[in-house]
Amino acid sequence: MSKLRVIVLGDEQVGKTSIIRTFVSQSFPTEVPPANPPIIIPAELSDSKSFLTIIDFYYRREQENSHQLIQEIKKADGIVLVYDVSRPQTFQHAVSFWLPLIYENSKSPSILVGNKNDMTSLIENKEAISEEIRARFPECYIQIETSAKSYVSISKLFQITQQAILYPASPLFNTAQNCLSENFIRILKLIYRKSDKDRDFRLNLLEIQGLNKAVYGQNLSLKDAGDLFSMISNKCSDGIDDKGIKFEGFVKLQELLIKKLKTKNSWALLKHFGFNENLDLEQKIDLKIEEGKSCEFSNDSIQFLVDIFKQYSVDSLLTREGIFEIFSTITTPPWETGNFKSWDDYIHFVSATPDRELSISSWLSLWTFLIYTKPAETVKTLLMIGYPNKFQTAYTVTSARNFSKESDRKVFKVNLLGDDIESQNSLMRSFLGKNIRDHVPSVVCGAVDPGDVFSDNTYLLLCRDPDLNTLEECDISCIIFDGSLGSINFLKERVLTLLPQKMPRLLILNKRENQDHENVYAFSLELGLREYAQVNFSKKVPDSLFKQIKDTAQYPYKGSLRRDGGNSGSGESSSIAFWFLLGMGFATSAVFIGKRLIQNNILKF
């Protein structure tokens, strides 16, 4: 149960003490002292069900109690500033002295009260001045008139004050521009998107009734719904049509509620969708990913991403405008974080059309890259674009890497190793379908042979020239070389000594003319591999290579060192396999050398 502290300020003889006494006794006092002592109203008698303390501060400059006044202003949760409508100078002093003093020392909501409205008002240009006040002092958006003598709006004054404290309008409404704040509109777009169950960019009757029931716990009758639709139509003709309420109409509805001092309704809406008083998502995303494990999307979140793609795409492609609209519910989209400058920098991670459009496969690849590299931030981003379920349902954590059995992962990190960086770039370009001169970043992501069952698709994260000290943090190493002794020696001296023995690996030869395949074959045998891939990187890399990479990562024994156990069962059988391959290599070499000696008449039979 909260405790609210309200201070009542204003010039002498404006009726501060009379307002308080009338509110407490519900009758106008016959005798009024200079000031009331602090008054405490129990929670059970308070409209807000909070303990309410009312401070009647008597201030005179000659008493030199400015320091005490400032301290009271700083302690107050809400401020009631009173002037006398029959004495214009009190209104002018409220604007020139009191309001600047208040807002220099407090950001609490203030209520500007014109008292004695049972008398003739002598204040000129009041409406224009009131607009100026709202522009200069955002927290002073409520201005009402009262009469303590006639008991006009006295109870309403303190009811509004308590509501202004508990449900402030300043985070939601820009008084200077007389419209909702940008931050609130952004959140309303998210709420609207979550409430639009059929994704037709309208809130129909059933969706409005469901939202009202979920937020306020009340059934919205057909008559009340009709009145609501009529009100929106009258105030915003483009905000509604025969299919339901458009987003513009939904925004206008919230604006009308705030202008009618029903901010409690708006805050109830925010609270229901998990936002706190700072308009931040209150739910803390705490993902605990143990070493050797990784984070992937659940089937539910994949389906959500597919659905939102279909909602905003055009001709099965997500345009730049569509992407920006999807992320418009987020304060800072992913491409404005870290070292990125724009969406154009960010889109290089995945395949895209020349116009920077994304297919469904590329869209899912982008999100796969995000959750793999920044799981907690990505899950929060997913919630902020409209994922409807609890965050715990949005992701799964894989098993720890175990190279002795089949992997249960759908996303495999691939390190590209070797001194031939251009071949690595060619591999990455081919994977994304880019041209030979297109830029590729150090990491790219894409699906391997994607199908229509999106939850079954497998993805590769190709990492060029990774940190040699973190080579164990991947699922497979692709060793790319040109077959020369220099390339082989580089791998032996700089790379292979750092690779974990059980790490699956795939040897890829950059196929060229006049290569010494004896050295290549001997090197593959030295690695304990049954085979090596040959690829001409000056041409498009065949899709079969990426399938081979995926298969080797998924079935690690296909690319594990034989002599270290692989997945062949016992260490003895693995060792036999290695020496058998090695022996086959020597036998092949002997046959080759023998043929050369016979051809040169050096060896004769």
DSSP secondary structure letters along 456-508: G-EEEEEEES--GGGTTSSSEEEEEE-S-HHHHHHIIIIIGGGS-TT--EEEE
Q: Is the pLDDT of residue 600 over 70?
A: no
Mean pLDDT of 77-106: 95
Mean pLDDT of 560-573: 38
Give the gyration radius of the chain's Cα atoms.
36
Task: Look at residues 227, 191, 221 and name the one whose alpha carbon lies nearest to residue 209.
Answer: 221
- The pLDDT tens digits of the residues spanning 100-151 come to 999 999 999 999 999 999 998 888 887 888 888 888 898 888 899 999 999 9
Mean pLDDT of 513-523: 83
In the chain, the amino acid numbered 9 is L
Query: Tell me, what's the pLDDT at 584?
Result: 42
Instruction: Decide if 438 contacts 429 (C-beta within 8 A).
Output: yes
- The pLDDT tens digits of the residues spanning 328-370 come to 999 988 888 877 778 887 888 999 998 999 999 999 999 999 9
Residue with the larger pLDDT of the pair 129 and 270: 270
Percent of the chain with pLDDT over 90: 61
Helices (H), 385-453: 421-432
Instruction: Decide if 414 contacts 461 (C-beta within 8 A).
Output: yes
Residue appearing with tokens 């770039």 = 425
Task: Look at residues 413, 417, 533, 422 and name the one whose alpha carbon lies nearest to residue 474.
Answer: 413
pTM: 0.83
In the chain, the amino acid numbered 208 is I
Among 113-127, 249-263, 390-404, the least confident range: 113-127
Helix (H) / strand (E) element for 249: namely: helix 247-259
Residues 377/346/415/392 CA torsion (nearest 10 deg):
20
Instruction: Decide if 308 contacts 386 (C-beta within 8 A).
Output: yes
Mean pLDDT of 279-305: 91
Helix (H, G, I), strand (E, B), or coil: what is residue 265? helix
Query: Tell me, what's the pLDDT at 566?
Result: 35
Mean pLDDT for the chain?
A: 87
Residue appearing with tokens 């106008």 = 28
Instruction: Decide if 64 contacts 85 (C-beta within 8 A).
Output: no
In the chain, the amino acid numbered 321 is E
Percent of the chain with pLDDT over 70: 91
